[in-house]
Amino acid sequence: MPGTVLAVVDFPDSTGRILAAAGQLARLLGASRVAVLAVRVEPDTSIMSVEAGLSGERAMASHMREHERLEALHDLFEVWVPEVQATGVAADWVDAEGPPDTLLAEIGRRASYLVLARPEAPDLQGGKLRLQAALFEAEKPVLMVPPGPVAVFGTSIAIAWRDDGRTIHAVKAALPLLVQAKAVHVLAGLHPGGTEPALPELLAEHSIAASLHELAVGSAPFGAALLERAHALGADLFVMGAYTHSSWRQLMLGKVTRHILAQADLPVLMRH
């Protein structure tokens, strides 16, 4: 799906902000299409494992709840379609059945960017699995949307800079947005006695003017320091590489990545 933004919707409460963010991202990227994916979970996997022996009647009730959830998501999609089409971006509904993280990885590989809700209760674990599938299996840039109304983003962008491949991948994914931004802030950690950070050459190569902000790396959580400085600078979008402690996606994400996932209250563009 060249030029496609894939928006993943799960629950009616979060669908409006996911669609709004996906439409805004598509316009900033000049993408031609937003595909909206709703995964229909099979009845035997939509109930808790401890209920595996439920009767056919209970399984049917679970199936009906799933049907109603998908209908509610589609109704919200239909309301949103005229809005995004008015901006010249096409919109399609994709209804698939199966394990959510597996389908997300398969379909996500054919998109250019993915948009997901920030993992939160009551589906915290499911949200984390979907995000990890998007980042580490589909291997696409992911815009993570926080709770609350979606404000305009892309005007002032903060980059959590680390001179390595993952951060460079994230910055490359953000380039179409960075070249349009009015302000770009590079937030770089400075270890005691460490080498002074510098602005990424990648930005200069694309004629992107940026300001460098050093943050001391110490005992305080560095993820909190990054978010605090981003807010102080008036950033409306945060760009960072996604890190894990292992190549296995089931294992823990890196400490800074976990903090951003849990606390970010502005959209975050991530790339592995």
By the 10 Å C-beta count (0-12 exposed, 13-18 middle, 19+ buried), 51 is classed as exposed
Number of C-beta neighbours around residue 263 at 10 A = 14
Tens-place pLDDT, residues 125-141: 899 889 989 999 999 99
| Segments in the chain below pLDDT 50 | 1, 45-50, 247-252
CB-based contact 242:253 (threshold 8 Å): yes
What is the distance between the alpha carbons of residues 215 and 189, in angstroms, rounded to a whole number? 5
Which CATH code for domain 156-271? 3.40.50.620
Number of C-beta neighbours around residue 122 at 10 A = 8
What is the distance between the alpha carbons of residues 233 and 114, in angstroms, rounded to a whole number? 26
What is the distance between the alpha carbons of residues 191 and 197, in angstroms, rounded to a whole number? 10
- Token readout for 66 is 């799933």
At residue 104, what are phi and psi to the nearest 5 degrees?
A: -60, -40
Q: Domain residue spans in the chain?
A: 4-145, 156-271
Please tell me if the domain spanning 4-145 has the same topology as the one spanning 156-271: yes
DSSP-assigned states of every residue in 31-83: -SEEEEEEEE--GGGSS-GGGTT--HHHHHHHHHHHHHHHHHHHHHHHHHHHH
Pick the CATH number of 4-145 from 3.40.50.12370, 1.20.1330.10, 2.60.40.1120, 3.90.550.10: 3.40.50.12370
Rg (CA), the chain: 19
Tens-place pLDDT, residues 138-157: 999 999 999 999 999 999 99
Tokens 């930005």 found at: 203
Note the pLDDT of residue 248. Answer: 44
CB-based contact 123:11 (threshold 8 Å): yes
Note the pLDDT of residue 48. Answer: 47
| 90-97 vs 113-117, strand pairing mode | unpaired
